[in-house]
Amino acid sequence: MVKEIYENTFVDAENSKYALVDFYADWCGPCQQLGPIVSELSNVFAGQVDFYKINVDEAPETCDRFGITNIPCLILLKNGEEVDRSVGFRPMNGIENWIKSKI
């Protein structure tokens, strides 16, 4: 399951051992394509990685903090610290392998 977070609840992602945060926008076509993949991967990695999504239009301070300039952007956090990021659309197996290589 992917949990929607906001600037005031971003700490939820930071408090996870591993968290994948999907920075997206409703108007972004590639973001809409990536959403179902992220949702499916949340089931694959259940119990290992917590999955979150945050709307960039509603979170300008968080976007500035992480230097988000292009979306979709997936950021993998470990204990609140950025481990790596993936920018742009990628197929499911590419993202799955990327996550596996980082956790």
- Exactly one of 13, 31, 68, 74 is catalytic; name it: 31
Cα separation, 49 vs 64, in Å, equals 24
Nearest to 23 by CA among 2, 54, 48, 60: 54
Q: Has 28 been annotated as catalytic?
A: yes
- Exactly one of 2, 19, 28, 77 is catalytic; name it: 28
Phi, psi (deg, nearest 5) at residue 20: -110, 125
Active-site amino acid positions: 28, 31
